[in-house]
Structure 1
Amino acid sequence: MSKQAALPVLGQDDATCCAPMVREPLGEEDAAALARMFKALSDPVRLRLLSLIASHEGGEACVCDLTGPFDVSQPTISHHLKVLRDAGLVGSERRGTWVYYWVLPEALAQLSALLEIPAASAQAPA
C-alpha cells in the first residue's frame, strides 16, 4: 500500500464536498461520508488512537506503539484502527510484520471545513 491519500484534496471553493453547514445544506452523499467519520471518532479509544497517530514522531505510528497506552487487547486496538481506516481517517501500510498508520489530512480538513463558521457569523448577535 502506498501513502497516497484515499480522499481528494478539495479547495474551500469546491462545491463538491463539505461546504460549511452555515452556508448551504449537505447533500446526501457528503452527509453519509462525514457521518462515517464522525461515528468513527465518537468512540474515546478511536479518538485517542487518532490523536496518538497524529502526534507521533514522523506523523506515523507502528501498531506496536499504539497498544501500550490502552487497557484493551491488541485485537481490540486492531478493530478500532480498522474502523478509522474504513472511515477514511487514517491510511496504513504493512512493513514486514508490522502495520504503520498515519492520519489523512484531507479527511481532517473535510471535518474542519464542515464545522467552520464564517467570520461574519462567528460574532454574537447584538
Structure 2
Amino acid sequence: MSYFRILCCLLVALGGWFLSKRQLETAFSNEDIIKVDGLLNIWASYGILLLCCYLLLYYIKEIFKFSFPIGEINKVIIVIAIVIAPILAIGTFSKAKSNVSNYIECKDERKVSSRFSSRTYATTSELCSKIAHRKGT
C-alpha cells in the first residue's frame, strides 16, 4: 500500500511540476501573447507540487525506516499550504502581472469560473482579434 502512495504522490507531484513550470514561464515570458492564470490556480499549482514532494519524502522515510527529521506531518502540511505556497503564488502572480503591464487584455479570451480563471494579453489589439478569429473558426 505504501508503494502505491509513493507512486501516486510522484505522479501528482509531476503534474504539479508541469503546472508550476508553466506558471513560471508565463511570469518571465516576453512573447507577443501571454495567458496569465488566476492567483488561486497558481497557488494550487505550488501547493500540489510542494505537498506531494513532502508526502513523497514522508512515505519513503516510513517504508525504509530512515531517521532523518522531516517534521510533524500535520504542521508541515499546514505551513506549506497556508504560508509557503501562497507566498510563492503571490510572487509569481505579481511578476506575471508586471510582465504584461504594457500589454492589452484580450477581453474575449477572459475565462472566469469557479474552477479556473485566466486572462490573455497581447502586445497589439490586432493580435487579440486574430486570436478571437482563430477561435471562432
TM-score category (smaller protein): under 0.3
Structure 1 length normalisation: TM-score?
0.28
Greater relative CO, 1 or 2 (CA 8 Å, sep 6+):
1
With the length of structure 2 as denominator, give the TM-score of the two structures: 0.26
Query: Which structure: larger Rg?
Result: 2
**Of Structure 1 and Structure 2, which has the larger fraction of its residues in helix?**
2
